[in-house]
Chain A
C-alpha cells in the first residue's frame, strides 16, 4: 500500500481528536444541563407535595382546605407551566381533589399514573409521564407521587409539572452544541493541514535545495541550505555526510578516469609520433627497425597498463574472493622469490626468502600471486640497483599470517606514505615512465588484500629501508 502523506495522516489524526474531544465535552455538558433542569423541577415538586401534605395534616381533608392549599402553593391558576395536583385515598373510587378537568393532557397523566412507579408508604417516587398526544417525547410531565398514612388510611398525593420546556431548552442547547462542534471540526480540518505545512516548511525547503544538486555539484562548503529546526539537524547532518561521501567517491572516480585516460594516451601519443616521424621522409632500414622496436616497447607498456586496468575493474566488481581455497603461503612466496631472484640476478639484485614452516591462508591463489608479485616488482624497482629484497613470513602463533617485503630503497616522505595505495599515485608527481609502472601496482595489491579480509601497510625510513607488511587471516 502506498503510504499516506504525513500531512494527510496528521490532519486526519488531529481532526478526529478534535471531533472526539468536542463530542465528549458536548455530551457531558448536555447531561449536566439536563440533570440540573430536571433537578429544578423536582425540587419544586417536592416543595409542592410536602406543602400540600402539611396543609392536609393541619387542616384536615376538607375540599376547601385542599383547594386553598393547592392554590397557595402553585400561586397562579392552571397553566401549562403551573403545577397540577391529585389527591386520593387508597381503595376509594373518587378523588379527594383534582386540580384540573380530566380533559387536559396533564390531567390524563395524573388520572393514570404508571402503576410500577407507585412508591411504598411514607415514600416518594419521581418519574416522567409521557404525553400521549406528543408521543416520542418522553417526560413531558414530571411527577412526584407521595404516599403517606393518615387516619389509618393511605393518602396519595400526586403533583406534576410540565417538563416540555426543559426538553425544548435541551433541544436548543443540543443544536448549539452541534453547530459549535461541527464548525470547530471543520475549522480544524481546514487549519490543521496549513499548520502542518507550516511546520514542515523546513523539510520542503531542504527538499528544494536537494533537487538542485547534481552529480557535478554534490557537496559544497556552506551550501545555502539554511538553518533547520533542532529536530531536523540530525537529518541534515546525515544528509551532508552522505553528500560529502558521494562527492569524494565521484571525484575519486573522475580522477581515476582522467588518470587512466592520460596513461593510455601517452604511449599512444609516443607510438603515433614515432610512426609519423618515420614516415616523414625516406629512411635507412636501420632507422625503421629502431622505430619498430620503439613502438613495440610502447605497445608492451600499454598492454601492461590495460591488463592492470582490467584487473582493477575485475577486483572492483566483487567484494570477496569467489571460490576461496586453501593456499600454502610459504610455498607460494618461496616460488615467487625464486622466480624474481632469477630475473633480478641478471641486474645484480637479489631476492631472499626466509621461513620454513607451513602457513595456510584461504583465498584465491592467482590473486595472492599477483599481490606478492606486485610487491616484489615494486621492491626491485625502487630499491637500489644491486640491493637485496627480503621476503619474510613471520612464524609465530597468531591468527594472522604476516608477510614483510623489505627493500633497501631510500626513505619515502611520511606525507606521501598514505597515498601510496591510491590508484595512479606516484611519489614523483610526474607521470613519466622513468621508473616503469603507472602507479597501479600497490592499488591492486591493496584491493586483493582487502578482498582477503587482511590489511596492508608501508613503512619507510632512510636507515631501515622500505617495508610493505601484509597481514592475512590464517587458516
Chain B
C-alpha cells in the first residue's frame, strides 16, 4: 500500500511516515507544500492520502477538491489542528473520508488508516482468507494451515496487496506503483525476486496457495486446485 502525506510540519510528517512504514508496511511519500502535494496526489495511484488543511501555496481543501473533480476515489484522511465542528463538517462534506484533529493518538490514527484502505479494497474483514492462507492486515500475521509464516517487510507488502486483490490479475506496473514510494530504487526484476521468495514460503504442500504468473499480464493469487 502506498500512502501520501501532505503536511507542512516536516517532523510530524516524518513521524507519521515512520509509524506507517513500521506498523503497516506501507510505502510512504511526503509532501510539505500544497502545490507539490496536489501534483503528487494527482499523478500517483495512492491507496491513502493524509492531508493537512493549512498548507503553503495550495490549501488542503483545494487539493481535495481537485482530486474529487478528477474522479479520483482515493481515501483521504484530513489531519489538522482545526477542530471546530464547522471545520470537520466542511472537511467531510468536501469529499474526505475521515477527519482527525491534532494532537492525535498514533495508534488510533494507524487503525483509521488501515480501515480506510480495507474499505477502499472492499474488504471490511481485516483478515483476508485464501483457502488455508490467512493474512491479518491489522497485526500483519500470516498463517498457512494454522502455522505462522514469517515474512520480510517487502514480502508482506507484496502478499497483502495481492491478497486484497485475490482472484484478479495484478500487473507488475501496478505492484511497482503501489508498493514503492517515490524515492525507492527499484531494479528491473525486483518483483520477480520477491514473488519467488513468497512462493517458496507458501509452497509447503498441497492443498495450498498459488501465485500464478500470467504471461504478459501479471500475477494472480488463488487457491491451489485440489
Asked if A277 is at the interface of the complex by the 8 Å CB criterion, the answer is: yes
Q: How far is the CB of B124 from chain A (nearest CB, A)?
A: 25
Check B19 against A432 for contact (C-beta < 8 Å).
no
Q: Mark B47-66, 1 if CB is under 8 A from A, else 0.
A: 00000001111010000000
Residues on B with beta carbons closer than 8 Å to the beta carbon of A434: 8, 56
Asked if B132 is at the interface of the complex by the 8 Å CB criterion, the answer is: no
Check A277 against B106 for contact (C-beta < 8 Å).
yes
Query: By the criterion of a CB under 8 Å from any partner CB, how many residues of chain B are at the interface?
Result: 30
Residues on A with beta carbons closer than 8 Å to the beta carbon of B16: 273
Residues on A with beta carbons closer than 8 Å to the beta carbon of B105: 272, 276
Given A262-B54, A262-B81, A265-B103, CB of A273 within 8 Å of CB of B19: yes
Asked if A261 is at the interface of the complex by the 8 Å CB criterion, the answer is: yes
Within 8 A of A (CB), among B14-70: 15-16, 18-19, 22-23, 32-34, 54-57, 59
Given A277-B19, A280-B23, CB of A269 within 8 Å of CB of B8: no
Cβ 8 A contact of A429, one of B9, B59, B83, B104: B59
Asked if B102 is at the interface of the complex by the 8 Å CB criterion, the answer is: yes
Check B22 against A273 for contact (C-beta < 8 Å).
no
Q: Mark A270-300, 1 if CB is under 8 A from B, else 0.
A: 1111101100110000000000001000100
Check B22 against A269 for contact (C-beta < 8 Å).
no
Residues on A with beta carbons closer than 8 Å to the beta carbon of B33: 430
Residues on B with beta carbons closer than 8 Å to the beta carbon of A281: 22
Q: Mark A248-281, 1 if CB is under 8 A from B, else 0.
A: 0000000000100110011011111110110011
Residues on B with beta carbons closer than 8 Å to the beta carbon of A276: 15, 19, 105-107
Check B54 against A274 for contact (C-beta < 8 Å).
no
Q: How far is the CB of B218 from chain A (nearest CB, A)?
A: 33
Asked if A415 is at the interface of the complex by the 8 Å CB criterion, the answer is: no
Residues on B with beta carbons closer than 8 Å to the beta carbon of A428: 56-57
Given A269-B102, A276-B107, A280-B22, CB of A433 within 8 Å of CB of B9: yes
Interface residues of chain B: helix, strand, loop or mixed (majority): loop
Check A274 against B22 for contact (C-beta < 8 Å).
no
Check A431 against B12 for contact (C-beta < 8 Å).
no
Residues on A with beta carbons closer than 8 Å to the beta carbon of B55: 430
Check A269 against B19 for contact (C-beta < 8 Å).
no
Q: Considering the complex, give the chain A residue whose CB is closest to the CB of B56.
A: A430
Alpha-carbon distance A456/B8, docked complex (angstroms) = 32
Q: Considering the complex, give the chain B residue whose CB is closest to the CB of A433.
A: B9
Q: Mark B85-127, 1 if CB is under 8 A from A, else 0.
A: 0000000000000000111111100000000000000000000
Check B56 against A429 for contact (C-beta < 8 Å).
yes
Residues on B with beta carbons closer than 8 Å to the beta carbon of A294: 11
Check B103 against A269 for contact (C-beta < 8 Å).
yes
Check B15 against A432 for contact (C-beta < 8 Å).
no
Asked if B82 is at the interface of the complex by the 8 Å CB criterion, the answer is: yes
Check A432 against B56 for contact (C-beta < 8 Å).
yes
Q: Considering the complex, give the chain B residue whose CB is closest to the CB of A297.
A: B11
Cβ 8 A contact of B54, one of A270, A272, A298, A430: A430
Number of A-B contacts (CB under 8 A): 81
Alpha-carbon distance A77/B106, docked complex (angstroms) = 131
Given A268-B102, A280-B106, CB of A261 within 8 Å of CB of B8: no
Query: By the criterion of a CB under 8 Å from any partner CB, how many residues of chain A are at the interface?
Result: 25
Residues on B with beta carbons closer than 8 Å to the beta carbon of A430: 8, 33-34, 54-57
Alpha-carbon distance A270/B54, docked complex (angstroms) = 15
Check B103 against A272 for contact (C-beta < 8 Å).
yes
Q: Considering the complex, give the chain B residue whose CB is closest to the CB of A262.
A: B81
Given A272-B106, A429-B54, A432-B9, CB of A266 within 8 Å of CB of B81: yes
Check B102 against A432 for contact (C-beta < 8 Å).
no
Check A266 against B9 for contact (C-beta < 8 Å).
yes
Check A270 against B15 for contact (C-beta < 8 Å).
yes
Q: How far is the CB of A300 from chain B (nearest CB, A)?
A: 13
Given A281-B22, A429-B54, CB of A273 within 8 Å of CB of B12: yes
Q: Considering the complex, give the chain B residue whose CB is closest to the CB of A298.
A: B11
Alpha-carbon distance A298/B11, docked complex (angstroms) = 10
Alpha-carbon distance A266/B104, docked complex (angstroms) = 10
Residues on A with beta carbons closer than 8 Å to the beta carbon of B54: 262, 429-431
Residues on A with beta carbons closer than 8 Å to the beta carbon of B106: 272-273, 276-277, 280
Residues on A with beta carbons closer than 8 Å to the beta carbon of B32: 432
Alpha-carbon distance A429/B12, docked complex (angstroms) = 19
Residues on A with beta carbons closer than 8 Å to the beta carbon of B9: 266, 269-270, 432-433
Alpha-carbon distance A339/B11, docked complex (angstroms) = 31
Within 8 A of B (CB), among A418-441: 428-434
Residues on A with beta carbons closer than 8 Å to the beta carbon of B104: 269, 272-273
Residues on A with beta carbons closer than 8 Å to the beta carbon of B22: 277, 280-281
Q: Considering the complex, give the chain A residue whose CB is closest to the CB of B33.
A: A430
Q: Considering the complex, give the chain B residue whose CB is closest to the CB of A272.
A: B103
Cβ 8 A contact of A268, one of B23, B56, B103: B103
Which of A268, A274, A277, A433 has the most chain B CB atoms closer than 10 A to its own CB?
A277
Alpha-carbon distance A298/B84, docked complex (angstroms) = 24
Residues on A with beta carbons closer than 8 Å to the beta carbon of B8: 430-432, 434
Check B15 against A265 for contact (C-beta < 8 Å).
no
Q: How far is the CB of A19 from chain B (nearest CB, A)?
A: 63
Within 8 A of B (CB), among A118-133: none
Check A277 against B56 for contact (C-beta < 8 Å).
no
Check A270 against B56 for contact (C-beta < 8 Å).
no
Q: Considering the complex, give the chain B residue whose CB is closest to the CB of A426.
A: B56
Which of A258, A271, A276 has the most chain B CB atoms closer than 10 A to its own CB?
A276
Alpha-carbon distance A315/B11, docked complex (angstroms) = 33
Alpha-carbon distance A202/B15, docked complex (angstroms) = 63
Which of A265, A294, A428 has the most chain B CB atoms closer than 10 A to its own CB?
A265
> Can you name 6 extra interface pairs (CB under 8 A) apart from A266-B102, A280-B19, A430-B56?
A265-B101, A269-B12, A272-B103, A274-B11, A428-B57, A434-B8
Residues in B lying within 8 Å of A, measured CB to CB: 8-12, 15-16, 18-19, 22-23, 32-34, 54-57, 59, 81-84, 101-107
List the 3 shortest-distance A-B pairs measured between CB atoms, nearest first. Answer: A269-B102, A432-B8, A276-B106
A selection of 20 A-B contacts at a CB cut-off of 8 Å is A261-B81, A262-B54, A265-B101, A265-B102, A266-B9, A266-B102, A269-B104, A270-B12, A272-B103, A273-B12, A273-B16, A276-B19, A276-B106, A277-B15, A280-B19, A280-B106, A281-B22, A294-B11, A428-B57, A432-B10
